[in-house]
Structure 1
């Protein structure tokens, strides 16, 4: 008991030695640099990264007390458009009265969802999952002290399933960021969140794996945006921390912390055939969370550095097939246009074994190492070529092949928020609408997520007005939506099979 007591005291001392609290916002040309509250980098050789002596059973009380006040409950409200068909109407009625008779009924319906979030700044910034806030018209945050605040979305990154929201408050308790790269398999962790609307719930477990690439985000990516994707050029980034701490629906966006109460991940997904916890859960590492959230706050979107290569994991069969001299690393299959790696001296058939001295034994590990950098950053790539290792300095590029920061374009961001593909009307469709004194519109080609999916708008819907102004093409739609982020926008439209039924709905972009 004495040993445990001393360990707990030591945890408190180490935690109190964290760097100066802070989330400084420095205005420079409209951009804001963000400094998170972080744990000290110093470590004691005889202690584990949890701050406890190696082999000492974990005491979860300190972690729970430190982390719980920083985790919030998020309730999102959205409007869905309900469509019910009366297809059982006898054909002779349709023949007599026309196709519009007995047609579909549509109407708005309110829906709610909930999740968790973690306070990362006393200024009111909160990090959560993108899927927790996607498509929401309204967000309400419940603090640990039961206080309720309205929140707005600052920005989202579907490629990592991370989002940042903000409430108007200047005295919130921010969480301390830990070093997610230093955590070890077998280490105790605590998950804090709001499962099943049960506020401030704490569970414990161990880290059972690191660098998991499950294809969860990639599958959602393909479902919503097609194989080519639409993440402003960003590809899905998965390098999950796997834990057996109990995580259930509502925990999404909550904190995964070590025994010092330091954030090492944002709980994102569970592996379950039933939708409830079945043994394993997955969290986005804090290193990725910190990079993504700081970019969102400063630039409005995520700045990703790219090597510009097509990668492949190795196994014994592929080692023999490709004739490489090592099975540890990531095989370089091909280069993209304007590849930074190729310009830096990487060649096809190389095996990348380290990035800045950190081992990269799988594609997710390599993606994580590169994903923490911005365009223009220099990284040291260690490759195994013909059995010999060599270091190459590579300057990362942005998705267009340059090294500049790519700012968010308001019109494209608004379209992405809608979560649909749009097209101009054909001449025949325009002529048909002209019978009803309409000059044209923009046709919804497919609905793949986002705001429109929450309203229930279906493929074939024609948007005729935005904020009361007629819209006749996708280009006009982009112009009308430019600069409308974080503002209420009203849409008006109809379905070609029922042109007299005009639908109006609105939400905040």
Structure 2
């Protein structure tokens, strides 16, 4: 009887431990939820403000706050062409549901080679994101937050996660030299490394910060136009592979201010 009682108590103890473990929160060992909460206040939309249009402000890309809290980093191609006669301006859209805010911004730095830009907006200071100085490794867990298909889904920051799939040159060799474009020839003289992501970015994600899932420090900037156009120009149907520009190029641009 004593032996059976001990066995029963042991089995019951095992069941209690098993149930307790299975009932633990899923995110108990997942740092990403806390990191997203830290990153989201720094994510803004990039668009065009036209007082003569309806709606007056349109969303086209993503940006994130850096520096003094009034600077925003994004892709150079995301900066709209302005019509001075219509009094158009670059718009920085700060999410907030019904209380979303729009600020006029000016371009203060641009790097066409790496498709990066920095704009300054006048308004409340927002929490800036920090840059990572750690070596980026293939297989490293990353996430990026932005506005995929922003004009349709609206000003609601969305996060995707994945890993650094590869470090690769900005241009890939082609079978015949005669098939190289002028832009590709120019880039072959001064190639730079980019990150290939095992995660899917969508139109509107351009300019999104790619960050470490644990620290939230930015390691790269999503690019959906410049890099795909160069690396996959030979494909009739471009792949869903996403690319990102190492943050060191953004650091250099910020330092140039």
Quick check: TM above 0.5? Answer: yes
Whose radius of gyration is greater, 1 or 2?
A: 1
Name 1:244's counterpart in structure 2: 198
Return closer, same or farther for 1:247/1:192 CA change in 2, 3 Å cut-off: same
Q: Which residue of 2 aligns with 1:40?
A: none
- Cα deviation, residue 64, structure 1: 1.3
For residue 113 of structure 1, report the CA deviation from its aligned partner. 6.3
Contact 1:63 1:257 in 2 (8 A): no
CA shift, 1:136, in A, is 3.6
Corresponding residue for residue 192 of structure 1? 145
Matched, 1:267 2:222: yes
Answer yes or no: is the 8 Å Cα contact 2:169–2:191 preserved in 1.
no
Residues 32-47 of structure 1 mapped to structure 2, 5 A cutoff: none
More helix by share: 2
Going from structure 1 to structure 2, the CA distance change for 1:171 and 1:275 (only over 3 Å counts) comes to farther
Q: Label 1:140 to 1:111 Cα distance change in 2 as closer, same or farther (>3 A).
A: closer
User: Which protein has greater RCO, CA pairs closer than 8 Å, 6+ apart?
Assistant: 2
Q: How does 1:263-302 map to 2 (within 5 A)?
A: 263-269=218-224, 271=228, 278-295=239-256, 297=257
In structure 2, the CA distance between the partners of 1:275 and 1:193, relative to structure 1 (3 Å rule), is farther
Indicate how the Cα distance of structure 1 residues 67 and 256 shifts in structure 2: closer, same or farther if over 3 A, else same.
same
1:208 and 2:165 are equivalent in the alignment: yes
After TM superposition, the score normalised by the length of structure 2 is 0.67
1:108-507 mapped onto 2 (5 Å cutoff):
114-137=60-83, 138-145=89-96, 146-179=100-133, 181-197=134-150, 198=153, 199-214=156-171, 222=182, 238-259=192-213, 260-269=215-224, 271=228, 278-295=239-256, 297=257
1:71, CA displacement in angstroms? Answer: 1.3
Range with bigger deviation, 136-145 or 193-202: 136-145
List runs of 5+ in structure 1 lacking aligned partners.
Answer: 9-56, 79-109, 216-220, 230-234, 298-509
Measured on the aligned residues, the alpha-carbon RMSD in Å equals: 3.5
TM superposition shift of 1:274: 8.4
Q: Could you tell me which runs of 5 or more consecutive residues in structure 2 were left unpaired when the two chains were aligned.
A: 1-20, 51-55, 84-88, 173-180
Q: Tell me if the contact between 1:160 and 1:236 (Cα under 8 Å) persists in the aligned partners.
A: no
Quote the Cα distance in structure 2 between the aligned partners of 1:275 and 1:163: 28
Within the alignment, does 1:73 sit opposite 2:24 as a pair? Answer: no
Corresponding position of 1:419: none
Looking at structure 1, the residues matched to 57 and 114 of structure 2 have their Cα atoms a distance apart, in angstroms, of 25
Mapped to 2, the partners of 1:164 and 1:123 lie a distance apart of: 12
Structure 1 pair 228/184, CA: closer, same or farther in 2 (3 Å)?
A: closer
With the length of structure 1 as denominator, give the TM-score of the two structures: 0.35
SS at match of 1:293: helix
The residue aligned with 1:399 is: none
Deviations 1:186-223 (A, max 9, x none): 111101111111330111111101243236xxxxx946
CA distance, structure 2, for counterparts of residue 160 and residue 196 of structure 1: 23
- Cα 1:249–1:157 shift into 2, 3 Å: same
Partners of 1:241 and 1:228 in 2: CA distance = 20
User: Does the C-alpha gap of structure 1 residues 175 and 150 become closer, same or farther in structure 2, counting only changes over 3 Å?
Assistant: same
When residues 184 and 139 of structure 1 are mapped into structure 2, their CA distance, relative to the original with a 3 A threshold, is same
Tell me, in whole angstroms, the C-alpha distance in 2 between the residues paired with 1:209 and 1:144: 32
- The CA deviation at 1:250 is 0.5
